[in-house]
Structure 1
Amino acid sequence: MRATGATKRPPGGRIVLLSSPKGGTGKSSLARNLLVCGAQAGLNVLGIDFDRQSTLHKWFLRRERLREGIPEAPRVEVRPAALADWRRVLDETAAYDLVVLDTPPSIEDHYNAAVGLAGASHLVLVPCGQTQDDIDSVSPWMATLVKSGVSAAFVLNKANRRTKSYEAARGRLLKVGALAPVEIPALEDIHLTAGKGLSVLDVKGAKATESFDALWSYIAREAGLQLGLAA
Structure 2
Amino acid sequence: MFILVAHTPKGGSGKSTLAREVAVSGTMAGLTVALADLDPQGTTSGWFRRRAAEAPVLVRFEPTDTGAELAAAGVDLLVVDTPPGQPPYLRQLLGRADLVLVPVRPTPDDLLGAAPIARSLAGRQWAFVLSQVPARSRLTDSAVRQLAALGRVAPAHLGFRADFPAAAIEGKAAVEFTGKAADEVRDLFAYTQTMMEERNAPTEI
TM-score (norm 2): 0.90
Separation in 2 of the partners of 1:220 and 1:185?
A: 20
Gaps of 5+ in 1: 1-12, 68-73
- Structural mapping, 1:9-88, within 5 Å: 13-63=1-51, 66-67=52-53, 75-81=55-61, 85-88=62-65
SS of 2:80's equivalent in the other structure is strand
Match of 1:139 in 2: 115
- Indicate whether 1:207 and 2:155 are aligned: no
Identity of aligned residues (%): 33
8 Å CA contact 2:135, 2:160 repeated in 1: no
CA, structure 1 residues 224+118, in 2 after alignment: closer, same or farther (shift >3 Å)? farther
Separation in 2 of the partners of 1:130 and 1:38?
A: 26
Separation in 2 of the partners of 1:145 and 1:105?
A: 16
8 Å CA contact 1:14, 1:225 repeated in 2: no
8 Å CA contact 1:122, 1:151 repeated in 2: yes
Deviations, residues 67-121 of structure 1 (Å, cap 9, x unaligned): 4xxxxxx52111355xxx41237343213100000000112xx1x4111111101
For residue 144 of structure 1, report the CA deviation from its aligned partner.
1.6
Q: 1:155 aligns with which of 122, 126, 129?
A: 129
TM-score (norm 1): 0.80
**RMSD of the alignment, in Å?**
1.8
Q: 2:154 aligns with which of 180, 183, 187?
A: 180
Deviations, residues 131-185 of structure 1 (Å, cap 9, x unaligned): 1100112320122212xx1000000001125122111111111111110011011
8 Å CA contact 2:114, 2:147 repeated in 1: no
CA, structure 1 residues 214+192, in 2 after alignment: closer, same or farther (shift >3 Å)? same
SS of 1:184's equivalent in the other structure is coil
Separation in 2 of the partners of 1:56 and 1:194?
A: 9
Separation in 1 of the partners of 2:120 and 2:49?
A: 34
Matched AA of 2:64: R
Separation in 2 of the partners of 1:134 and 1:183?
A: 15
4+ residue runs of structure 1 moved beyond 6 angstroms? none
SS of 1:101's equivalent in the other structure is strand
Deviations, residues 166-222 of structure 1 (Å, cap 9, x unaligned): 11111111111110011011101111110110111222x233111111100001111
Separation in 1 of the partners of 2:65 and 2:101?
A: 22
Separation in 1 of the partners of 2:168 and 2:146?
A: 30
